[in-house]
């Protein structure tokens, strides 16, 4: 493939999206560039404050537990209050929590702040996903979610590399920098992003149409969507397991801790370098096929970890499940957007977010229990089975619900993005280089329910 063809492919990948999307993309990049708290929190608790590794794990689990509550809260606020005010408010709460961590020195004080931070960080995600859905026509949504996910990982790469280099400044300084970055993210949203929430339909008496009154329980009664959420939970459990089990498996194989840092860095390198190419290859494929294939890639990649014994082979397994991640995250986000009615997009994204948050809470506990009990090989056999079950579920249960009614490349019925004036030119992303380093022993928080920040 020539340089010119690569350039044309890259231009096609980023062209045609509304300007508002690129402001949201920039806010994601800024937000994640300052993502130091979760990256270095365990080191801060153990090295700076002198707590045990068990307590550090508990605090991180509380962050996931906060996300379980924050996701439906954010979805409800997104639909009732609006996308923009929800984003701004939750970003500011997150910034306040990051700043508070620079001041709080007691273990349980840190735990309380991290719990609130888990609520606010997860609560903002349904509003971001709903905004992308509002702005971007259906035939471009998977590409938009993939681009936003790419920004998220690029920002995390900068944070991991920059935070590792700047750690001599002290953990508290890094937390202040995160507070500043998230505040800047909130300012970008407040100043540049239009509100895109559709107006509620009302009867002649001015009351909201009854069938548009949707609760979280109503969302869970939607059988196809409920199936999508449950299958995504299985995939999320598989995806989260390596962040706990991989370093333990490598240690059991007699490898040094430094080898884990090099191996897990492959995940970020592959995403930053190849996400746009993967999106180009998959853009016209059936979402059911893509979700099935990604589940199988997760199953094969994690399952093969049981056979690995050298850093090179461990790295190869990471490449396999990382490709599954790149396919799954934007496809699942677009599938959620497809199944959600216009007036309940926030709630649907919020319920989907619960599957990511719940896996972030359960997977570390379950993975640790299996590794300490039956052993690491049983963990990888279990993830392979879960991935295969998810693949079967996508193929047999969701083929009809996710069938494309609109041919690829054909504008959807509402082709003018909400909140974008006619004739608004598409923006272009800031130049960014695919540099990436992931800190040794730090686990990247599973994202994405929707490729969002």
- Check residue 365 and give its pLDDT: 82
The SS3 assignment for 208 reads strand
- Check residue 90 and give its pLDDT: 98
pTM summary value:
0.81
Q: Give the helix/strand (H/E) hosting 386.
A: helix 376-397
DSSP string covering 114-183, please? HHHHHHHHHHHHHHHHHHHHHHS-HHHHHHHHHHHHHHHHHHHHHHHHHHHHTGGG-HHHHHHHHHHHHH
Give the pLDDT confidence of 26-50 residue by residue, as tens digits: 999 999 988 888 878 888 898 889 9
State the burial class of residue 103 (Cβ atoms within 10 Å of its Cβ: 0-12, 13-18, 19+).
Answer: exposed
- Check residue 276 and give its pLDDT: 87
- Check residue 412 and give its pLDDT: 37
Q: How far is the C-alpha of 138 from the C-alpha of 147, rounded, in Å?
A: 15
- Check residue 430 and give its pLDDT: 36
Q: How far is the C-alpha of 305 from the C-alpha of 379, rounded, in Å?
A: 10
Which residues of the chain fall below pLDDT 50? 405-446, 448-450, 453
Residue whose tokens read 């990256």: 39
The SS3 assignment for 236 reads helix
Beta carbons of 148 and 24 less than 8 angstroms apart:
yes
- Check residue 343 and give its pLDDT: 87
For 215, how many CA atoms within 13 A lie in the half-sphere containing its CB? Answer: 2
- Check residue 417 and give its pLDDT: 41
Give the pLDDT confidence of 147-158 residue by residue, as tens digits: 999 999 898 888
């Amino acid at each position: 493939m020539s340089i010119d063809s690569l350039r044309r492919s890259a231009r096609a990948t980023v062209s045609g999206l509304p300007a508002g999307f690129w402001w949201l993309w920039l806010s994601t990049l800024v937000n994640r560039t300052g993502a130091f708290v979760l990256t270095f929190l365990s080191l801060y608790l153990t090295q700076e404050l002198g707590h045990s590794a068990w307590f550090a794990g508990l605090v991180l689990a509380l962050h996931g537990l906060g996300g379980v509550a924050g996701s439906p809260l954010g979805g409800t606020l997104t639909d009732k209050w609006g996308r923009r005010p929800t984003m701004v408010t939750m970003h500011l709460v997150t910034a306040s929590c990051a700043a508070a961590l620079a001041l709080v020195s007691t273990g349980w004080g840190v735990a309380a702040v991290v719990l609130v931070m888990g609520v606010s960080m997860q609560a903002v995600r349904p509003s971001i996903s709903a905004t992308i859905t509002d702005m971007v026509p259906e035939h471009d949504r998977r590409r938009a979610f993939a681009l936003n996910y790419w920004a998220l990982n690029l920002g995390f790469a900068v944070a991991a590399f920059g935070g590792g280099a700047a750690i001599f400044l002290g953990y508290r300084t890094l937390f202040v920098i995160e507070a500043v970055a998230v505040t800047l993210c909130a300012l970008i949203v407040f100043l540049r992003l239009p509100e895109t929430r559709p107006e509620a339909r009302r009867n002649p008496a001015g009351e909201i149409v009854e069938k548009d009154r949707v609760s979280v329980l109503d969302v869970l009664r939607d059988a196809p969507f409920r199936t999508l959420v449950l299958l995504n939970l299985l995939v999320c459990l598989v995806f989260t397991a390596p962040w706990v089990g991989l370093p333990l498996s490598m240690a059991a194989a007699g490898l040094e801790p430094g080898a884990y840092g090099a191996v897990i860095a492959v995940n970020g390198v592959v995403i930053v370098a190849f996400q746009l190419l993967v999106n180009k290859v998959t853009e016209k494929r059936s979402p059911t096929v893509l979700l099935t294939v990604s589940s199988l890639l997760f199953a094969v990649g994690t399952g093969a970890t049981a056979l690995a014994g050298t850093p090179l082979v461990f790295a190869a397994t990471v490449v396999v499940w990382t490709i599954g991640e790149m396919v799954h995250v934007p496809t699942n986000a677009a599938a959620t957007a497809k199944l959600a009615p216009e007036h309940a997009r926030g709630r649907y994204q919020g319920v989907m977010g619960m599957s990511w948050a719940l896996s972030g809470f359960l997977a570390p506990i379950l993975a640790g229990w299996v590794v300490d009990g039956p052993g690491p090989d049983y963990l990888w056999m279990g993830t392979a089975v879960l991935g295969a079950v998810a693949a079967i579920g996508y193929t047999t249960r969701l083929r009809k619900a996710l069938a494309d009614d609109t041919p690829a490349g054909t504008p959807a019925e509402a082709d003018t993005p909400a909140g974008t004036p006619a004739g608004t030119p598409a923006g272009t992303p800031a130049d960014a280089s695919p540099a990436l380093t992931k800190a040794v022993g730090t686990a990247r928080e599973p994202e994405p329910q929707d490729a969002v920040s």
